Amino acid sequence: MKLRTVIMASAATVAMAGSALAEDLTIVSWGGAYSASQDNAYHQPFMADHPDVTIINDESSNEAVAKLRAMDETGNVTWDLVDVEGPDSQRLCDEGLAMEIDLNEWTKAAPDGTPAVEDFGDAVINDCFIPQIVFSTTFGYRTDVAEWNGEEPTELCDIFDTETFPGKRALEKRPKKNLEWALICDGVAKEDLYDVLSTPEGVEQALAKLDTIKDDVIWWSAGAETPQLLADGEIVMGSTYNGRLFSVIAEQNQPVKMLWDWQVFDYDGWIVPAGLPEEDLDLVKEYISFATDTQRLADQAKYISYGPARASSQPLVGDHAELGIPMGPHMPTNPDNMGNYLVNNILWWADHQDDVEQRFQAWLAQ
Amino acid sequence: MAQEQILTQEGKPLKQALRRALRREKMRSILLIAPLLAFVLVAFIAPIADMLFRSVENGIVADTLPETVVALQDWDPSTGELPDEAAYVALYDDLTVAVEKKIHTRLGSRLNYEQSGMSSLFRKAGRTVRSIEPGSPDMKQQLIDSDAAWGNLDTWALLKRYSGRYTPGYFLNAVDAEMNADGIEMKPDNERIYLYLFVRTLMLSLIITFSCLVLGYPISYLLAHLPLRKANLLMVLVLLPFWTSLLVRTSAWKVLLQQQGVINDLLVWAGIVDNTHRLVMINNATGTIIAMTHILLPFMILPLYSVMKTISPTYVRAARSLGATSWTSFWRVYFPQSVPGIGAGAVLVFILSIGYYITPELVGGTSGIFISNRIAYHISSSLNWGLAAALGTLLLVVVLFMFVLYDRIVGIDNVKLG
């Protein structure tokens, strides 16, 4: 009798745990300062509104494409919502791994009644993408390098100038952006960039340029690495996302400055993995509608210097939540920061990434 | 002369009774190990076999383009003629279905492993195939107009070459070769990496094994010859790092070895190294060797120690009493007896290091990574599981080969773990 009670009780507990699990929302993002800004602006307020929901943060966004493919292959998708860059969303959408959604149905209109699709404007890059922010990838450098004799880099191509600016650099362990920068510094004009890159010779030209600094490069794969290496003094300059650099400079007061020259703009947003069960989908939908409304998107900019993807959010961007400094000048879209810039060619990368990646990885290993 | 049968007490032939008893015994032991056997089969052998099978499996072309594969059966690329209209119609039909199911990009990625440009061709086809009317005439011309690659003989030859269910392609890739129209060839120089990485993995593993031996032998000797209380204390110093998480130890090496790290700071402070010429000891092969030697050192010390513990001191004493110098008595009497320990330690360290992945990934930069890092890359980033499986199979073969070689030279019977 007693044993039976125990079994019944534990079965009941398991069943309850099961129903509680249904309210878990697994959100995949990039970690570090970026996940923290999402936690402050979206997750905490959402959980306050929905006490029965627990949001689980998974920091796997830089492997999202691979992991979603693997999950799809094994038929066990464990993620509810994934934060990805524009080109990755394009790939996932093409491959049927991301769900196609109607943006006007999933997200709220702007406060003045402008439909969401118009409010998001250019940020709506494909049928699966729910835009969140505009960010850029750019360079940060240390201001206290003795060997530089008081000089400071002023333009992108100083990255390749190891005479004037000796020391280690950090670059991302992916071809994207590195190849564009290399070509620009090898004299290719902005409008010819992707035509040149579309040929094998163009890729070789870019790699040859990167060869000139290969011995001085430390390769990163997570956005938080460059700020850490800069703070440690392990590198003298390195590429990363502008929000990460902001956090090192403004929040941690490290002797680091930013180089906005040829920053590369990109969109980042949500995709919903295809094939989510119906009951999970409702919760995801509710979360999306909540997290992408005009006010929330503007709120995220209080914690990190990324521009909200909605036009209606931009006037609401105010001061940093803790430091109280205005965030406007630190946004990649601030006119002062937009002398030279590139917009990531999402379609080109979606089409060519497999090819170029293969060649780049071989080059890296040699 | 008929041999008289020996009977048991119950009157059965002894031989038969004995066999039955043995069989019962055998059954019992099989039943006893059955759970483990089943577990090993299900959780270990089967997944490995399944993974290794991927190194030759190639169903994706036939599954994605079934009609095209049939239409290409009678076509011979060596004639230099493009396939006929029927093949193009079949391709269009297959692509329409594939695009509907959104599986055409996967086929593109698969074929891209063999020939670059395929991925973008299929991605573009996904967008253009919708703009072509189904059943419209001259499908050949329409497809070629949408992308010139469909009018290229190489594209079709590739499709035909990979339309079989099995392929040697992954294994060829794993040894930097490729199959093209002229047969099997080595890849161009700037695309070769795997053979080079295999050699590097073996070289670095040998160096690591050797450094573990050089560092581990004196320590084991000391441990085996100190009074028990002191030896135990020292043993704790060996075991503590052994029990510490691998990641923690690797990260600690990062802090120690980096250019602004503890060791460089000390060297600069002592005036050995100039501040502007700090040593580069991490993110390269040096970093991998140092960190992995430290991490694998216990695997050398423990078997060496347990073997040395069993070497009786009387032999050395006897040698000394017969007039041998301390070196001779060590080299000719003690050392040969410790060889089984060296063998065990070396095999352990070498085989562990050849498959190491986390430490090289964190401290190896680009010049200190191993073949396993590429396997991990293909498993988790590029999702080229077939190539990862082929590389894994080759690694397994290399390890088995080394093992056999070792058995020939040292003899596996000489390996003692305690």
State the DSSP string of B283-329: SSHHHHHHHHHHHHHHHHHHHHHHHHHHS-HHHHHHHHHTT--HHHI
Paired sense of beta strands A24-28 and A81-85, if any: parallel
The token duo for B145 is 């107009």
Cβ(B387)–Cβ(B174) below 8 Å: yes
**Interface predicted TM-score (ipTM) over 0.90:** no
User: From CA B381, how far away is CA B393, in angstroms rounded?
Assistant: 19
User: From CA A3, how far away is CA A111, in angstroms rounded?
Assistant: 60
Q: Flag if A352 and B120 touch (Cβ within 8 Å).
A: yes
The token duo for B379 is 């498993």
The token duo for A20 is 């509680």
Paired sense of beta strands A24-28 and A54-58, if any: parallel
What is the per-residue pLDDT for B136?
A: 80
> CB-based contact (8 Å) between A354 and chain B?
yes
3-state secondary structure of A23: coil
- Confidence class for position B17, pLDDT limits 50, 70, 90: confident
Q: Which residues contact B138 (CB under 8 A, 6 or more apart)?
A: B85
Which residue in chain A has the smallest CA separation from B283?
Answer: A218
Tell whether the torsion through CA atoms of A295, A298, A303 and A308 is positive or negative: positive
User: From CA B90, how far away is CA B156, in angstroms rounded?
Assistant: 13
3-state secondary structure of B144: helix
Relative orientation angle of helices A178-185 and A200-211, to the nearest 10 degrees: 80
Asked if residue B192 has pLDDT above 50, the reply is: yes
User: From CA B346, how far away is CA A122, in angstroms rounded?
Assistant: 61
What is the per-residue pLDDT for A355?
A: 83
> CB-based contact (8 Å) between B369 and chain A?
yes
CA–chain centroid gap for B148, Å, is 40
Q: Flag if B112 and A232 touch (Cβ within 8 Å).
A: no
The token duo for B75 is 């076509």
Cβ(A300)–Cβ(A37) below 8 Å: yes
Contacts of A233 in chain B (CB under 8 A): 259-260
Return mean pLDDT, chain B: 89
Selected from 3.10.50.40, 1.10.10.920, 3.50.50.60, 1.10.3720.10, the CATH number assigned to the domain covering B194-414 reads 1.10.3720.10
The residues that bridge with A259 in the sheet, in sequence order, are A139
Nearest chain A Cα distance for residue B8, angstroms: 50
Which residue in chain B has the smallest CA separation from A207?
Answer: B190
User: From CA B37, how far away is CA B33, in angstroms rounded?
Assistant: 6
Q: Which residues contact A279 (CB under 8 A, 6 or more apart)?
A: A22
As a dihedral over the C-alpha atoms of residue B277, residue B278, residue B283, residue B284, rounded to 10 degrees, the angle is: 60
The token duo for A261 is 């020259």
Q: Return the H-helix or E-strand segment holding A27.
A: strand A24-28
Which residue has tokens 């118009």? A118
Cβ(A237)–Cβ(A165) below 8 Å: yes
User: From CA B362, how far away is CA B254, in angstroms rounded?
Assistant: 8
Contacts of B382 in chain A (CB under 8 A): 66, 357-358, 361
The token duo for A338 is 């937009």
User: What domains can you pick out in chain A, each with its CATH number?
Assistant: 3-134+268-329 (3.40.190.10), 145-265+348-365 (3.40.190.10)
Residues of chain A with pLDDT under 70: 1-22
As a dihedral over the C-alpha atoms of residue B313, residue B317, residue B318, residue B320, rounded to 10 degrees, the angle is: 140
User: From CA B259, how far away is CA B256, in angstroms rounded?
Assistant: 9
The token duo for B198 is 């295999």
Q: Flag if A147 and B276 touch (Cβ within 8 Å).
A: yes
Relative orientation angle of helices A64-74 and B371-380, to the nearest 10 degrees: 70
What is the per-residue pLDDT for B418?
A: 60
Q: Which residues contact A323 (CB under 8 A, 6 or more apart)?
A: A250, A251
Please tell me which residue, A355 or B34, carries the higher pLDDT value.
Answer: B34
**Of all residues in chain A, what percent carry a pLDDT higher than 70?**
94
Q: Angle at the Cα of B121 (from A190 to A93), degrees rounded to 5?
A: 80
Q: Angle at the Cα of B381 (from B42 to A76), degrees rounded to 5?
A: 45
What is the per-residue pLDDT for B3?
A: 60
Nearest CA to A110 out of A297, A285, A268 is that of A297
The residues that bridge with A85 in the sheet, in sequence order, are A268
What is the per-residue pLDDT for A1?
A: 42
Q: Which residues contact B56 (CB under 8 A, 6 or more apart)?
A: B166, B167, B168, B170, B171, B386
Q: Flag if B380 and A355 touch (Cβ within 8 Å).
A: no
User: From CA B29, how far away is CA B25, in angstroms rounded?
Assistant: 6
CA–chain centroid gap for A205, Å, is 28
User: From CA A229, how far away is CA A220, in angstroms rounded?
Assistant: 10
The 10 Å Cβ neighbour count of residue A39 is 17
- B23: buried, middle or exposed (CB in 10 Å: 19+, 13-18, 0-12)? exposed
Q: Flag if B260 and A355 touch (Cβ within 8 Å).
A: no
- Confidence class for position B331, pLDDT limits 50, 70, 90: very high
What is the per-residue pLDDT for A19?
A: 47
pTM of the predicted structure, to 2 decimals: 0.83
The 10 Å Cβ neighbour count of residue A273 is 23
What is the per-residue pLDDT for A165?
A: 95
DSSP B193: -
DSSP B43: I
What is the per-residue pLDDT for A16?
A: 47
Residues in chain A: 366
3-state secondary structure of A292: coil
The whole-number average pLDDT for the span B225-245 is 91
Selecting from B124, B192, B258 the residue whose C-beta is nearest the C-beta of A351 gives B124
DSSP A79: -
Q: Which residues contact B146 (CB under 8 A, 6 or more apart)?
A: B124, B125, B128, B129, B131, B132
What is the per-residue pLDDT for B216?
A: 96
Q: Flag if A94 and B283 touch (Cβ within 8 Å).
A: no
- Confidence class for position B2, pLDDT limits 50, 70, 90: low
> CB-based contact (8 Å) between A234 and chain B?
yes
Q: Angle at the Cα of B358 (from B197 to B255), degrees rounded to 5?
A: 110
Radius of gyration from C-alpha coordinates of chain B: 31
3-state secondary structure of B390: helix
CA–chain centroid gap for B272, Å, is 40
Enumerate helices (H) and strands (E) in chain A, giving the number of each: 15, 10
Which residue in chain B has the smallest CA separation from A168?
Answer: B259
Cβ(A63)–Cβ(A221) below 8 Å: no
pLDDT in tens, B103-147: 898 898 889 888 888 888 998 888 888 888 887 888 888 889 888
Ordered by start, the domain boundaries in chain B are: 13-44, 60-165, 194-414
pLDDT in tens, B359-394: 999 898 888 999 999 999 888 888 888 999 999 999
Nearest CA to B140 out of B99, B76, B83 is that of B83
